[in-house]
Amino acid sequence: MTVEDLAKNSSLTLLTEGLDLSTEITKPFCCDLLSIAMGKAPAGACWVTVTVNTNTLAVATLTDVACIIFAEGSAVDPALIEKANEEEIPLFKTELSEFDAALLAHTA
Amino acid sequence: MADVLEFTYEVSGEDFTRAGEASSDVKRKLKKLGVSPDVIRRVSIALYEGEINMVIHAHGGKITIQISEDAITMILDDRGPGIPDIEKAMTAGYSTAPDKVRNLGFGAGMGLPNMKKNTDSIDIETKLGVGTKVKMVIKL
C-alpha cells in the first residue's frame, strides 16, 4: 500500500499539498511518546499519533516514516503543515481513534 | 592520514521547537555523501536524542561531527549542570525531564539508552556544574 492508496480513504483528510505520495507503507505504527517513536518507528511506517508539534515532524523526518496520521480529531497548526510541506512528510488528520486509523494502513 | 570532514553546529537552548535542526542537516549531508540508509538512521537517532538532551537539560551547546573513511564521530559538548549519576541516566525509563517537555512527548527516559543502542561506542565525560561531553562513534 502506498501513501496515495491510503489517501483515497474517506476517513482521512490529507493536509499537505503537492508531495510525492508514491512511498510504500511498510506498516502502521502507533505511538505518542516521541522518545519511544525515535527509537522504534520503523522506516516507511505510517505513524499514527495524537502528539502534534514540530518535534513530531523532526522525529518523522529522522526516522524516515512514510507519513503521519494525526488521530482523534487533533488540531493541527497551519505552520506545522507548512513545515511538513518543506520537509516532504505527508500529513493526514482524522476523527478516528489511533487504533482504527492504524487499521487503515494495515494490509496483512 | 585519510581526510576527515568536519562540521560544527551551535545548538540553541532557548527554542525547543528548533531542536533537531543540526540532526536534520547532518542527515542531509550524509545522504549526499552516499552513506548507507541504515547508518544514516542510526546517526540521526543518536544525534537527535543528544541534541534534544542539550536543549532540555543544558541550555544548548556545541556539536562537532567528524566523518572519516571508516567512522562517523559525534561530539556533543555542553556547559550544562552535568549528570550526577550516569548509571541511573543510562537506565531505560529514568528521566529528569521537566513537565513542559513531557507534555511535548519527551521524557520517557529513552534518550541515552537510544544513543547507546544506535552507536558502536559512547563515552560520557561529565562534571557537576561544569558540563557534559558525549562522544559517540558509528563505524562505517
Say whether residue B35 is in contact with chain A using an 8 A CB cutoff: no
The residue among A34, A50, A77, A83 with the most chain B CBs within 10 A of its CB, best to mutate, is A34
> What tens digit of pLDDT does each residue of B22-40 get?
999 999 999 999 999 999 9
CA B67 to the chain's CA centroid: 15
The residue among A33, A34, A35 with the most chain B CBs within 10 A of its CB, best to mutate, is A35
Looking at residue B15, its pLDDT comes to 78
Per-residue pLDDT, averaged over B39-68, amounts to 94
Place A15 in a pLDDT band, splitting at 50, 70 and 90: very high
Place A39 in a pLDDT band, splitting at 50, 70 and 90: confident
Which CA distances in Å does B116 have to A75, B44, B119, B135? Answer: 35, 13, 6, 11
Contact, B29 vs B68, CB < 8 A?
no
Contact, A54 vs A35, CB < 8 A?
no
Contact, A53 vs B105, CB < 8 A?
yes
| 3-state DSSP assignment of residue B97 | coil
Looking at residue B16, its pLDDT comes to 80
Chain B residues close to A87, C-beta within 8 Å: 24
Q: Is the pLDDT at B14 greater than 80, yes or no?
A: no
DSSP A19: -
Contact, B97 vs B53, CB < 8 A?
no
Place A29 in a pLDDT band, splitting at 50, 70 and 90: very high
Smallest Cα distance from A82 to chain B, Å: 14
Residue with cell 551551535: B10
Say whether residue A43 is in contact with chain B using an 8 A CB cutoff: yes
Contact, A84 vs A58, CB < 8 A?
no
Q: Is the pLDDT at B13 greater than 60, yes or no?
A: yes
DSSP assignments along chain A, one per residue: -BHHHHHT-TTEEE-S-S----PBP--EEE---HHHHHHHPPTT-EEEES--SHHHHHHHHHHT-SEEEE-TT----HHHHHHHHHHT--EEEESS-HHHHHHHT---
> What tens digit of pLDDT does each residue of B83-134 get?
999 999 999 999 999 998 888 889 889 899 999 999 999 999 999 999 999 9
Average pLDDT over all residues of chain B: 93
Contact, A62 vs A44, CB < 8 A?
no
The domains of chain A, with CATH numbers, are 3-104 (3.40.1390.20)
DSSP A24: B
Chain B residue closest in CA terms to A51: B105
User: Chains A and B: how many Cβ contacts under 8 Å?
Assistant: 72
Stated pTM of the model: 0.86
The domains of chain B, with CATH numbers, are 5-139 (3.30.565.10)
Residue with cell 550544562: B80
Burial code of B86-110, b = ≥16 C-beta within 10 A, e = fewer?
Answer: eeebbeeebbebeeebeebbbbbbb
Say whether residue A50 is in contact with chain B using an 8 A CB cutoff: no
